[in-house]
């Protein structure tokens, strides 16, 4: 490890570029920085300590998210599948579900309920997840939603996503929805915030659906789908009143904004 004499010969900028030592030497290295007479060096030590504390908290959070699944693995379940949905509430676009099976050793910092993440962070995490996750999507169109209602369409999409996995899961963890399937199901209240695999599924589903809605924004630019993702924002509702419905709108969700005699697909 670097000595105090060697440290004093370096500029503050050079010290910032130093590779951090292994964990066993980290405390001694930080103490060395903290004893330096230069304010910039001491500030660097404080920044490193804050980063280490944040990383430790994140590892604790991930351990809490994985605790339930680890307990289930101890009970003999091997292919534990988290399932979540995106898009139950919008006026337009499909409802999308994702079924995700992650390896037991998966430990990706930042995994959380997709609604808590920025687009940039979510997109980055989705790419990491794709590299190590066995996943499949279930998609139900606006026509199916209108036909069978959003809850039944969501359940159908969840079962469909799980059925696309091969080998099939031996347990499904679902965010507060009961499913009729041959695979055992455990409902987890607020699962996308509390369960690692459900959170992973929510991220993948959100990115899949948002990408679709961005493509629809090119096809139907008046509705701002790249900004509202089909949800009932003031801009979106005003566009419906001005231009009518598109083929990707859910007619049963839009009855307040169109007259009964108007054909929404003209």
Count H helices, E strands: the chain?
Answer: 11, 5
Question: Per-residue pLDDT for 12 more than 90?
Answer: no
Q: What is the pLDDT of residues 136-175, one digit of tens each?
A: 999 999 999 999 999 999 999 999 999 999 999 999 999 8
- Considering the chain, what is the average pLDDT of its residues? 92
Give pLDDT, residue 1.
73
Is the pLDDT at 182 greater than 70, yes or no?
yes
Q: What is the Cα–Cα distance from 264 to 236, expressed in whole angstroms? A: 15
Question: Which string of DSSP letters, residue by residue, matches 84-105?
Answer: EEE-SS-SBS-EEEEEEE--TT
Per-residue pLDDT for 198 more than 60? Answer: yes
Assign domain 78-212 one CATH number from 3.30.420.10, 3.90.650.10, 3.90.180.10, 3.40.50.12780. Answer: 3.30.420.10
**Higher per-residue pLDDT: 24 or 184:** 184
* pLDDT of the residue at 87: 97
Whole-number Å distance between alpha carbons of 110 and 58: 8
What's the whole-model pTM score? 0.86
DSSP 19: P
The reported pLDDT for the residue numbered 189 is 87
Report percent pLDDT > 70 for the chain. Answer: 97
- For residue 264, what pLDDT is reported? 44
Longest dimension (CA), the chain: 85
Average pLDDT over residues 53-69: 94
Question: What percent of the chain has pLDDT above 90?
Answer: 73
Q: Please report the DSSP string for the chain in residue order.
A: ---HHHHHTS-HHHHHTSPPPPHHHHHHHHHHHHTSS-HHHHHHHHHHHHHHHHHHHHHHHHHHHHHHHHHHHHTT--SEEEEEEE-SS-SBS-EEEEEEE--TT---TT---GGGS-HHHHHHHHHHHHHH-EEEEEEE-HHHHHHH-HHHHHHHHHHHHHHT-SSPPSEEEESS-----SS-EEE-TTHHHH-HHHHHHHHHHHHHHHHHHHHHHHHSGGG-HHHHTT---HHHHHHHHHH---TTB-GGG-TTTS-TTS-TT-
What average pLDDT score do residues 243-252 get? 95
State residue 259's pLDDT score. Answer: 57
When pLDDT is averaged across residues 123-130 and rounded to a whole number, the result is 97
Q: What is the mean pLDDT of residues 108-122?
A: 95
Q: Say yes or no to pLDDT of 134 above 50.
A: yes
User: pLDDT at position 221, please?
Assistant: 97
Q: Two tokens at 130?
A: 């794709």
Q: Is the pLDDT of residue 219 over 90?
A: yes
């Amino acid at each position: 490890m670097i000595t105090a004499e060697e440290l004093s010969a370096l500029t503050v900028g050079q010290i910032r570029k130093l590779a951090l030592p292994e964990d066993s030497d980290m405390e001694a290295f930080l103490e060395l920085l903290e004893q330096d007479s230069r304010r910039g060096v001491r500030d660097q030590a404080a920044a490193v300590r804050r980063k280490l504390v944040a990383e430790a908290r994140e590892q604790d959070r991930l351990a809490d998210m994985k605790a339930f699944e680890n307990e289930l693995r101890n009970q003999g379940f091997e292919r534990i599948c988290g399932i979540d949905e995106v898009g139950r509430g919008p006026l337009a676009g499909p409802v999308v579900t994702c079924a995700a099976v992650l390896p037991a050793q998966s430990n990706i910092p930042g995994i959380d309920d997709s609604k808590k993440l920025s687009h940039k962070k979510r997109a980055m995490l989705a790419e990491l997840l794709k590299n190590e996750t066995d996943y499949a999507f279930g998609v139900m169109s606006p026509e199916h939603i209108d036909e069978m209602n959003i809850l039944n369409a969501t359940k159908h999409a969840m079962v469909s996503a799980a059925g696309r996995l091969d080998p099939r899961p031996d347990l499904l963890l679902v965010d507060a929805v009961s499913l009729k399937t041959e695979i055992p199901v455990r409902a987890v209240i607020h699962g996308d915030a509390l369960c690692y695999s459900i959170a992973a599924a929510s991220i993948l589903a959100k990115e899949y659906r948002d990408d679709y809605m961005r493509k629809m924004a090119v096809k139907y630019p008046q509705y701002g789908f790249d900004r509202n993702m089909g949800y009932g924002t003031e801009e979106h509702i005003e566009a419906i009143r001005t231009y009518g419905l598109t083929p990707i709108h859910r007619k049963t969700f839009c009855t307040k904004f169109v007259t009964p005699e108007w054909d929404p697909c003209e």
